[in-house]
Structure 1
Amino acid sequence: MKLTNVRIIAPYREFIGTIEIEEGKIKRIKEGKEEGENLEGMIAIPGFVDIHTHGIGGYDFTSWDNKEDFIKNMLEMKKIYLKHGVTTFLPTTVTIPKENLMEACKAIGEIEDESIPGIHLEGPYISEKHAGAQDTRYIRNPDVKEIKECLELSKGKIKTITVAPEKDLDFISVLSKLGIHPSVGHTDADYDTAVKAFFSGADRTTHMFNAMRPFHHRDPGVILASINFSRYIEIISDFIHVDREVIKFLLNSVGINRIVAVTDSIIATDLKDGNYTLGKTTITVKDGKALTREGRLAGSTLTMDKAFRNLSSLRSLSEAVVMTSQNPAMAVDLKDRGSLEPGKKADIVILDEDLKVEKVYLNGENYF
């Protein structure tokens, strides 16, 4: 199959050309028009990769109690994500009771779907002071035994864990040795502690600027430590969690190759304003903004296609692709996707001139 006469956003360049697909992978990319599906006026980008998302469209991965519901929700979530161009995602938990966490890990272990390659545990080893919308009743100290049990139940599919390093710096290196990517977040770590965490194996910062010790010129904390040393930095580009000018500052400071766009989306995403849940916490969504009863931000209602459009308003399309597809894939070792190149999975999103999703190809198959 060939997609032709389409504007291709390849790594660090773009051109009008043809993408040839064979057996679910990109076989060849070439400039110029050939015989095939004519996509004149359209734009081809790699499928979005969201490595921090709790839910969408009335489904989530945090509010249920048994493995069967976790699995059902994951598969229903996938259908909706695809409509927004997301071809890979990591279902993300919040801080929940141990028995619920184990059920979630069992569920991910039973899913055999390349679009859902693993799980992100956002907690439970986080700071009570910067818990955000997470339920402080279930926060606990780092527990290697618990994580090894989770790893076994998930069949090795724990991709990343958000952790407050001030709880136990040694835990960071343990996670890294287990093949899990430690991400610093929901933390009150000072600058020195955060730096030690990054040098101990933490390679990402969870939703930069949110749910962490704020920056102060005499107490730079985790924010400056992340800018200086974090390999990847998550950002929620809804312009609510972080002002657009601050995102521009961050891009100018660290460049695009370290920025990972995430949604941190919740069950209310794609739905009307109202009352919803995040884990065991009740939240209210008004004008698309999710808040706890105390007025704290509680995840987002952002979708990755909107995140892409927002980042494209700050940088070029090719740079936005790096942040929404390539970097998130690389951040969790998914080297077979994230860019339009020969040999990569044929997960392709077709956009119109307004950057709205028109078509999605998953493993080369036209999803819609």
Structure 2
Amino acid sequence: MDSNRMETVKRVTSAITGAPSCIAIRGARKIDARGVREHFWLTSADGVITATGTDEEEFEHACRSIAIDPADDTRIIDAAGHLLTPGYVDIHAHGSWERSFDDGPDGIDIARAGHAVHGTTRQVCSLITNPIDVMCENLRNVRAAMDRRPDVLGSHLEGPFLALARKGAHDPECLKDPVPELVEQLLDAADGSLRQITIAPELPHGIDAIGRFAAAGVVPAVGHCDADYDMAKRGFDAGAGIITHMFNAMNGLHHREPGPIPAAVEDPRVTIEIINDGFHVQDPMVRLGFGFAPHRTAFITDAMAATDCPDGPYKLGALDVNVVDGHARLVSNGAIAGSTLLLEVAVRRAVTVLGISPVDAVEAATLTPARTFGYDRPNPVTGAPLGLLAPGYAADLLLTDPETWAVGEVWCAGRKLK
């Protein structure tokens, strides 16, 4: 990694572990799940939005209430018509900048910086299939990271309870049936930090494990599975609340064999993950899938260590990966090995390529993923809720170019990351 990126990692890590500042932004075009507002202003203190509006007199009062002089241009950010959105929330990503979230504390800091500077202010750290003792150690590392930085929301285990026939880029030697002893071992290691776990419900102990994880406060996800429609429904009824990267690593849509996708679409309790990179799911299917369940589709990246890096050889767990034209595949069999997508790009593609409304695109990267874990309301993990630009919500803010949708300035809980 070059020296500029290492300096960025240090700066982002220092900022996110520091104290929040007071913020006053005016002249923005606000976009969140509640709609669009022109000439928008916002103030925040102690990492929480204190006031919003469009009236200038009210803005001056809001500034004074957080000890900012409304005449002091050095402390007030003029958005000059740029987009102001909530920070992006990625609930399924493995890494970036040549590191994965499996690579210990330094790996977490580096990978988080790679996503943070592109607008992902909060992240669930996805951990790849490994031997159980390694997975437990990786869970403990994520738990420790949560204690020192508010942008880490917890962990997601993508494995080891996956179907062999739908394993994708996961090591077949490490796949397991989710017997109760393994469930308890992983829960103990996570110590309350496990947010979701992908499970093939058709495994011998699959349904039982979904129930056990759900009872422990985890949101199980149906995915990497060979489940049919009825089995998927059983999984959701047992407590699964997510379908992992819909269309990928599962039975597809068929008029006589509907598979797990309709089961997820029909169930209002289920969040639908989708990788909007035009490669994992081609554009016509992204448009179709996005329309299946309004307000329940969450853009995810499934990003691996090669994200925001040049093409070349990389690792996914213990497996060798080669990235060509930004697409990652296993060297051994050519299977797709995660993505190199950023949520910044997913939102941009949704608006500029797919024709999805900016409000819906932003919602899919903010409020919907936050709602999956109850982070759209006050909670013990984030404190203030995530996903909207409204008083009482976390000051997770992005200023974005209205033409290119390139993220410019980034704040997480009132801490400036870029």
Q: Quote the Cα distance in structure 2 between the aligned partners of 1:51 and 1:366.
A: 21
Is 1:13 matched up with 2:49? Answer: no
User: Percent identity at matched positions?
Assistant: 31
Is 1:299 matched up with 2:334? Answer: no
Is contact 1:10-1:341 (8 Å) kept?
no
Is 1:107 matched up with 2:141? Answer: yes
Is 1:59 matched up with 2:99? Answer: yes
Quote the residue 2:393 is aligned against: 344
Quote the residue 1:333 is aligned against: 374
* Deviates most, 6-15 or 173-182: 6-15
Q: Quote the Cα distance in structure 1 between the aligned partners of 2:412 and 2:363.
A: 19
SS at match of 1:96: coil
Structure possessing the higher radius of gyration over alpha carbons: 2
Is 1:176 matched up with 2:205? Answer: no
Residue ranges of structure 1 left out of the alignment (5+ in a row): 65-69
Q: Quote the Cα distance in structure 2 between the aligned partners of 1:328 and 1:11.
A: 12
CA-to-partner distance for each residue in 1:322-364, whole Å, 9 max, x for gaps?
1001111111222311221111110101101221011001222
Post-superposition offset of 1:41: 2.2
Quote the residue 2:156 is aligned against: 120
Give, as a single letter, the amino acid of the residue that structure 2 aligns with 1:22: A
* Deviates most, 158-167 or 272-281: 272-281
Q: Quote the Cα distance in structure 1 between the aligned partners of 2:32 and 2:253.
A: 36
Q: Quote the Cα distance in structure 2 between the aligned partners of 1:184 and 1:287.
A: 30
Q: Quote the Cα distance in structure 1 between the aligned partners of 2:256 and 2:32.
A: 43
CA-to-partner distance for each residue in 1:176-209, whole Å, 9 max, x for gaps?
1111101000000011101111111111100000
Is contact 2:111-2:305 (8 Å) kept?
no
Q: Quote the Cα distance in structure 1 between the aligned partners of 2:226 and 2:86.
A: 36
SS at match of 2:272: strand
Q: Quote the Cα distance in structure 2 between the aligned partners of 1:159 and 1:93.
A: 12
Is 1:358 matched up with 2:408? Answer: yes
Is contact 2:129-2:174 (8 Å) kept?
yes
Q: Quote the Cα distance in structure 2 between the aligned partners of 1:224 and 1:295.
A: 28
Q: What is the TM-score when the length of structure 1 is the normalising length?
A: 0.95
Give, as a single letter, the amino acid of the residue that structure 1 aligns with 2:151: S
Quote the residue 2:296 is aligned against: 258
Q: Quote the Cα distance in structure 1 between the aligned partners of 2:184 and 2:26.
A: 48
SS at match of 1:189: coil
Is contact 2:97-2:308 (8 Å) kept?
yes
Quote the residue 1:76 is aligned against: 110
Q: Quote the Cα distance in structure 1 between the aligned partners of 2:32 and 2:367.
A: 11
Residue ranges of structure 2 left out of the alignment (5+ in a row): 1-22, 60-69, 71-75, 377-384
Is contact 1:195-1:225 (8 Å) kept?
yes
Quote the residue 1:319 is aligned against: 360
Q: Quote the Cα distance in structure 1 between the aligned partners of 2:219 and 2:42.
A: 33
Give, as a single letter, the amino acid of the residue that structure 1 aligns with 2:192: G
Alignment of 1:11-160 (within 5 A): 11-15=33-37, 16-33=39-56, 34=59, 35=70, 36-62=76-102, 64=103, 70-111=104-145, 112=147, 113-160=149-196
SS at match of 2:125: strand
Is 1:185 matched up with 2:185? Answer: no
Post-superposition offset of 1:303: 0.5
Q: Quote the Cα distance in structure 1 between the aligned partners of 2:349 and 2:156.
A: 24
Is contact 2:101-2:111 (8 Å) kept?
no
Post-superposition offset of 1:316: 1.5
SS at match of 1:187: coil
* Deviates most, 166-175 or 32-41: 32-41
CA-to-partner distance for each residue in 1:234-275, whole Å, 9 max, x for gaps?
0000011111111111222222x1101100000001111111
SS at match of 1:224: helix
Q: Quote the Cα distance in structure 2 between the aligned partners of 1:119 and 1:10.
A: 26
Post-superposition offset of 1:153: 2.4
Quote the residue 2:279 is aligned against: 240
Q: Quote the Cα distance in structure 1 between the aligned partners of 2:180 and 2:167.
A: 21
Q: Quote the Cα distance in structure 1 between the aligned partners of 2:94 and 2:33.
A: 29
Q: Quote the Cα distance in structure 1 between the aligned partners of 2:116 and 2:144.
A: 21
Post-superposition offset of 1:61: 2.1
Post-superposition offset of 1:47: 0.5
Post-superposition offset of 1:107: 0.8
Q: CA RMSD in A?
A: 1.3
CA-to-partner distance for each residue in 1:87-109, whole Å, 9 max, x for gaps?
10011111110111011011122
Q: What is the TM-score when the length of structure 2 is the normalising length?
A: 0.84
Post-superposition offset of 1:141: 0.4
Post-superposition offset of 1:225: 1.5
